[in-house]
Structure 1
Amino acid sequence: MRSDQVRLNCGITIPMVGFGTYSYQNDRKTTEEAVHMALKMGYRHFDTAKIYGSEAALGNALKEAFDNGSVVDREDVFITSKLWSADHHDPVSALTNTLKKLGMEYVDMYLVHWPVKLKPWASYPVPNEEDYEKLDLESTWAAMEKCLDLGLCRGIGVSNFSSKKIQHLVDFASVPPAINQVEMHPMWRQEKLREICEDHKVHVSAYSPLGGPGNAWGSTAVVEHPVIQSIARKHRATPAQVALKWGLSKGSSVIVKSFNGERMKENKAAFDITLDTVDIKEIDKLEEWKLMRGEFLCNHTTSPYKSIQQLWDGEI
């Protein structure tokens, strides 16, 4: 196995640096151009979701590359997509629709996007008061396992699950989750969650590994932190590379999201820098600050979560 990949508990390997396609600002053409550029730079893991609106653009760009034959074949690429909260009632149909948009026969990984169930019509990012339903995770997960049995995906996992929710899931799952994709960066280190996931051989994949700069809820606090900048100067690297390498050093894959060519190169090169023990210890002492707090799922009387503490089971 290559050093830039990790083997999951379901037996497949995932590239450690992934390319995120979430971006409401960008049109389909911009996304397709970014994916083509990413492929040429060596990115082989592509992350999307129904709610991102990028599945069709990602699929079209990948198919063009496959048909070209000179860059990659389907088996060279790892594709992750996610079950939106309004589709818990029928994950098989949801994944089938995702595959139609992608123009693919399967995805490599299918994740439950949030531990939240919404009414079937709620196909938008921020739910309304009347949109919530009671989450029956056992039924949702049984349908996710069916997606796996039908060959619609090669692995199944979750996103935005706390330690308690991971423990609950592995207690009843016939097939344990292969991945938990969560916010993780030098200022939100997920130490407890990483330990629980390691105990159950669940791979932690980091979204917003730079703190989500450019997102409405994100911040430049990570890359602007004096400790991160000091370590970057020491290694003649960029602050972004230091932040990404920190995540990689913890055994997590990182999902980077930039459509800027220079930043895409910079992010990909993070794998090649080396942080020493002192660097890691300094980063592990930073103050913590969770950025994607999920208030939008806690501000309705019908939501199962009355506070962000409930959503994250006190891990915030």
Structure 2
Amino acid sequence: MAPTLSNGFSMPAALNCDYPKEITLNSGFTMPIVGLGLFRMEGKDVKDLLLHAIKTGYRHFDCAAKYKNEAEVGEALAEAFRTGLVRREEIFITTKLWNSDHGHVVEACKDSLRKLQLDYLDLYLVHFPVATKHAGVGACVSVLDEKGVLDIDTSITLEATWRGMEDLVSMGLVRSIGISNYSLLQTRECLAYSRIRPAVNQIESHPYFQRESLIKFCQQHRVYITAHTPLGGATANTIMFGSVSCLDDAILKGLAKKYRKTVAQIVLRWSIQRNTVVIPKTSKAKRLEENFRVFDFELEKEDMDLIKSLDRNYRTNQPAKSWGIDIYA
């Protein structure tokens, strides 16, 4: 067994030992450390890839109403359960409340459950810490004003949204609740007003955007970090946001050669050894399998320190490009 820190998190085990493949949230439920992110996946690709992922060993799937593919995910899950490929209790499903549904938390959650063909969610997250103009439950649009700026609804507070999230737990619709893309101060405020504390804060984190202070704060208060965009977004974010991917970094390529692993495996392993959950996204079966093979090696401390030196405070996911306003400012 890996030793446990005073804050409740497990230290990395010795090389090739039984490194834990799941963590225990403050809600008491367990969550697999490696999951599959389903952002930017459409149609038949979702079903085929998800079923292949289950056969590969994935048990954690990260969804969102905004991704517009919950129905396809639901079809894949229903087939997996029906054929005995996996049982519902073996699967961890996360989905998220979109900005335009902050005033309709229960209805939005039920809409996601209907599409996913599930009776409960393992984890439900507030996708972004901003409420926007409502356009119908599940519509998941980003309404802009006449100047092309995101139409933020100032009548809905994040505390009111969180009360709705807490209601979902009381109703038995959700096992654990959490937040996403919250800053350190927003996380602190949520901890102050919450009756049920957030179990997770899902944030962008990778070697070029390490978020050390936020991660330390969350871990100190037993809020687990899930790293979205753990590979820096790669080609997809380069196309969408014009960003640079850490996967092209010469130092990371050198470490990949040293450990005889892919650069992606090095980056994911680094993230895991920081005690964060990772949800890499890929639409390629080969990379899907590679991303899951990160438990059979361990990065040496000197290499963890080397990767730490790569931090550029560089965010690759930039919604301001379509919203006309930077919510991180």
TM-score scaled by length of structure 2: 0.88
Give the corresponding residue for 1:312.
328
**Which position in structure 1 is the counterpart of 2:60?**
45
Q: In 1, distance between residues paired with 2:288 and 2:242?
A: 18
Larger RCO (alpha carbons 8 Å, 6+ apart): 2
Partner of 1:59: 74
In the alignment, structure 1 residue 143 sits paired with structure 2 residue 159: no
Residue pairs, 1:1-316, within 5 angstroms: 3-23=20-40, 26-69=41-84, 71-121=85-135, 123-124=139-140, 126-129=142-145, 131-134=151-154, 135-213=156-234, 214-215=236-237, 216-217=240-241, 219=243, 221-288=245-312, 289-296=314-321, 299=324, 308=326, 311-312=327-328
Partner of 1:223, secondary structure, is: helix
Q: Is the 8 A contact 2:26 2:222 kept in 1?
A: yes
Q: CA deviation at 1:119?
A: 1.4
Q: Deviations over 1:3-42 (max 9, x none)?
A: 100000110010000111111xx43211100101100000
Larger mean CA deviation between 107-116 and 120-129 belongs to 120-129
Mapped contact 1:21–1:47 kept (Cα < 8 A): yes
**Would the aligned equivalents of 2:98 and 2:126 in 1 still touch at CA under 8 Å?**
yes
Task: Indicate the SS of the match to 1:291.
Answer: coil
Q: Secondary structure at the match of 2:166?
A: helix
CA distance in 2, matches of 1:43, 1:16: 10
Query: CA RMSD of the aligned region, Å?
Result: 1.7
Seen in structure 2, the aligned counterparts of structure 1 residues 238 and 125 have a Cα distance that, compared at 3 Å, is: farther
Tell me if the contact between 2:210 and 2:311 (Cα under 8 Å) persists in the aligned partners.
Answer: no
Indicate the residue corresponding to 2:9 in structure 1.
Answer: none
AA aligned to 1:223 is L
Structure 1 window deviating more from structure 2 (26-35 vs 236-245): it is 26-35
Any runs of at least 4 consecutive aligned residues in structure 1 with deviations exceeding 6 A, and if so which?
none
Q: What displacement does 1:228 show?
A: 0.6
- Paired AA for residue 23 in structure 2: V
Q: For residues 100-149 of structure 1, give each alpha carbon's deviation from its aligned partner in whole angstroms, at most 9, with x where no partner exists.
A: 00110011000000011011117345441273201401111011000011
SS in 2 for 1:237: coil
**1:304 match:** none
C-alpha distance in 1, partners of 2:242/2:255? 22
Asked if the contact 2:142–2:323 (Cα under 8 Å) also holds between the matched residues in 1, the reply is no
Structure 2 gap ranges (5+): 2-18
Q: SS at 1:33's partner residue?
A: helix
CA distance in structure 2 between the partners assigned to 1:253 and 1:142 by the alignment: 26
Letter in 2 for 1:291: T
Encode CA deviations 1:40-60: one digit per residue, 9 max, x unaligned: 000000010101011111111
**Residue in 2 aligned with 1:305?**
none
The answer to whether the 8 A contact 2:98-2:140 is kept is no
Percent identical residues: 37
Q: How many residues align?
A: 301
Q: What amino acid is aligned across from residue 28 of structure 2 in structure 1?
A: G
CA distance in 2, matches of 1:127, 1:296: 14
Q: Is the Cα–Cα contact under 8 Å of residues 162 and 193 in structure 1 kept in the other structure? A: yes
